[in-house]
Amino acid sequence: MKKYNGQEIADNQSDMALSLEELEQLSPESREAFSVLDQICTSKSEEETEAILESYLASVQGDPIQKQISFDAQASLEKFRSLAANIKF
């Protein structure tokens, strides 16, 4: 399990940007997703965050990899609880 400094997590992102070289090695879809995440990370309000997210998710609906996803949040939450029970903090 990674160790996180609580303050560092959400407030200091400067050390966590991908370099240009790293970005160039990604697929265009991955690059776009990281770019959207960059926008989300600098959004000023919950409304702005959700609007960026909503617009991005609508734009990737046609991506074949997205079509593989069949998701049941409640079932996933139950699975997550079992997983968390097996991890020692």
Who's near 38: CB < 8 A, 6+ residues apart?
Answer: 17
CA distance linking residue 72 with residue 1, whole number of Å: 26
Q: Is 24 in the site for another protein (CB under 8 A)?
A: no
Q: Is 14 in the site for another protein (CB under 8 A)?
A: no
Is the CB of residue 66 less than 8 Å from the CB of residue 60? yes
Q: Is 20 in the site for another protein (CB under 8 A)?
A: no
Q: Is the CA virtual torsion 72, 54, 28, 20 positive or negative?
A: negative
Binding site for another protein (CB under 8 A): 1-2, 4, 6, 9-10, 13, 16-18, 22, 25-27, 29-30, 32-34, 36-38, 40-41, 43, 45-46, 49-50, 53, 56-57, 60, 63, 65-66, 68-69, 71, 73-74, 76-77, 79-80, 82-87, 89
